[in-house]
Structure 1
Amino acid sequence: MLNGQLTLAVGGGALAGLGAFLLIREILPATPALGPALRRLHQPAMVGRRPASSRRTEWLGGLARWLRPPTRDLALLDRTPEQYALSVLLSGLSGLVLPPLVGAGLATVGVGLPVALPVAAGIGLAVLFGLIAHHDVLAKAERARREFRRAICTYLDLVALQLSAAHGPVQALERAAAVCEGWVFERIREALRIAQLQMHSPWDELRALADEIGVAELGDVGAIMQSSGAEGAQVHETLRQRADSLRDQIRTDNLARAEAVTARLDVPGALLVFVLMGFVLYPFVSRI
């Protein structure tokens, strides 16, 4: 009996360790993968039956549809709904097996728990860990979206400089994107490359990317450059003004976020005052 409980505890501990490793891997920031982007550029012709790997992940697609993933946030992070569903599922399983493992560990030292307690705690932790994985995706997407907006300011200035140097609208967009490094400009270069391969106008592709990832500022670049390409307007001053207004907006958002954090810090400060008042008043109250 003891050997069986020990085996169960060791196996459960291994599963919990695997779940914790996968959860930490999802929480830590990662560099967007270039492989999916290249696969989107070079889609193979699907003739006949689907590949075995696609059939093996069909259940993940069904789970993703049931979970209703945040598609724009996942597109910004360059993740698929299947990857999102898998991370939520693994997080939920980690929370589900953790209480039974703790109960088995306590049972090995002679401490018995009711069966209903680990089961109820496992269900509660599974839901909690799944929600944590979901909100982690939302938080990462929000940080990535703020970074994307900051990069757009630089991109607007670079495009305006290229236009001032007598380059055409399409060439200005491509040269400005090629100057800088980083995952944001890689996404912009990818969109411009797709527009070139599919013989679309680059501003339409930029606006499509803006709608896909939920960054309206990138769509503003496409709209401004469309007026330059269609009407021949000199828009470099418009681009600089949009960059300045975007910087002001980012500065205002950062100030509002800092004020919100400061307001949250007032709560523990007030609690600390009450604790100090309790220490000061306790000797007098105890003598009454």
Structure 2
Amino acid sequence: MLNVQLTIAVVAGALVGLGVFLLVREASPASPALTPALRRLHHSAERAPARDVDGSQDLQWLTGVVRWLRPPHKELALLGRTPEQYALSLLLSALIGLAAPPVASIVLSAVGFELPVVVPVVVGLAIAAGAALLAHQDVLSKAKQARREFSRAVCTYLDLVALQLSAAHGPVQALERAAKVCDGWVFERIRESLRLAQLQMHSPWDELRDLAEQIGVPELGDVGSIMQSSGTEGAQVHETLRSRADSLRDQIRTDNLARAEAVTGRLDIPGAFLVFVLIGFVLYPFLARI
């Protein structure tokens, strides 16, 4: 019993020490990160995405893990995360899952219930793999939802650009003025892309196509392709923009109906089960008298 208490004390002390270390590390002022800002201002054709944030250089030790994990780059770019942050989230999830069974085994040993050593090891490995998979699926699920939101915002952006062109604004000015009308993270990403094109003397439609390819939203690339014909050939494209917005709106409506039908189909099973339960309640008095 003394060894068990000593083990619990050591583990508890290690956890408290780790918590104090993390608190001190987060509270200490960090040096400004100039590398991400310079990379965003002087990017090449294969530029680092705008998702690089301050402090991401602290996770450079995870570069080797990132190459092994092969993270979903488009989904991470859409969510504004780096591959190192993705790898860190998977590692933390796996470590928590791996540590849970040994801690539970120590607690059970303290109350007198001994478990074989192989049980917490095997269960910990299984939970660690499951926790890492859940973290990966969480990224994919959030990216899927964010991509749908981005597509709906692009539909609005198409209408706004068409209105700006109808008001006799130039193609570049129409893109910039339309992006300033609405708030939200989608329009912030568009404004940032247009601002980057202005600073680097690039055409805004090329920058929008690059952003669309980076985050996996082809609808935004359509805006760039349509506006390119207006900027280089002088074509009147406001009707084309309205038509593309209408078709995109119909596509979004169709996708929403498909998801609604899928959710309704999944509700059939619990609904049928509820019917059987109600039938059982109705028939039980008669069957009990037989």
TM-score of the aligned structures, taking structure 1 as reference length: 0.83
* SS of equivalent residue, structure 2 residue 183: coil
Who is 2:233 aligned against? 231
- Give the deviation of 1:235 after TM superposition: 0.7
Alpha carbons of 1:260 and 1:59: their partners in 2 closer, same or farther (altered >3 Å)? same
Q: Deviations over 1:5-50 (max 9, x none)?
A: 33155358769999xxxxxxxxxxxxxxxx9975543469xxxxxx
Identify the match of residue 264 of structure 1 among 238, 260, 266.
Answer: 266
Give the whole-Å Cα distance in 2 for the aligned partners of 1:227 and 1:203. 10
Residue type matched to 1:130 in 2?
A
Are the aligned partners of 1:195 and 1:201 in contact in 2 as well (CA < 8 Å)? yes
CA–CA distance in 2 between the matches of 1:136 and 1:260? Answer: 20
Q: What's the counterpart of residue 167 of structure 2? A: 165
Q: CA deviation at 1:263?
A: 0.8
Q: Partner residue of 1:113? A: 115
Q: Go from structure 1 to structure 2 and tell me whether the alpha carbon gap of 1:36 and 1:9 turns closer, same or farther (over 3 Å shift).
A: same
Partner of 1:186: 188
Structure 1 range deviating more: 275-284 or 128-137: 275-284
Count residues in correspondence: 264
CA-to-partner distance for each residue in 1:176-223, whole Å, 9 max, x for gaps? 112221111111111111211222111111111101000000000001
Q: 2:150 aligns with which of 136, 148, 151?
A: 148
The residue number in structure 1 matching 2:126 is 124
In structure 1, give the amino acid aligned to 2:230. S
| CA 145–36 in structure 1, closer or farther in 2 if over 3 Å, else same | farther
Say which of 100, 103, 115 aligns to 1:101. 103
The residue type equivalent to 1:223 in the other structure is S
Structure 2 CA distance for partners of 1:102 and 1:8, relative to 1, 3 Å: farther
Partner of 2:253: 251
Equivalent in the alignment of 1:198:
200
Q: Which residue does the alignment assign to 1:78?
A: 80
Q: Which residue of 2 aligns with 1:27?
A: none
Query: Does structure 2 retain, via aligned residues, the 8 Å contact 1:103–1:113?
Result: yes
Q: Is the 8 A contact 1:191 1:209 kept in 2?
A: yes
Amino acid at match of 1:141: A
Letter in 1 for 2:211: L
The normalised TM-score by structure 2 is 0.82
Matches of 1:7 and 1:277 in 2, distance apart? 56
Match for residue 41 of structure 1? 40
SS of corresponding position for 1:219: helix
Where do 5+ consecutive residues of structure 2 fail to align? 21-33, 44-54
1:251 Cα shift?
A: 1.1
RMSD: 2.8
Q: 1:143 to 1:245 in 2, by over 3 A?
A: same
| CA distance in structure 1 between the partners assigned to 2:125 and 2:193 by the alignment | 43
AA matched with 1:230: T
Aligned residue in 1 for 2:12: 10
Q: Which moved more, 1:164-173 or 1:56-65?
A: 56-65
Q: Secondary structure at the match of 1:69?
A: coil
When residues 260 and 211 of structure 1 are mapped into structure 2, their CA distance, relative to the original with a 3 A threshold, is same
Closer, same or farther: CA 128–106 of 1 in aligned 2, 3 Å: same
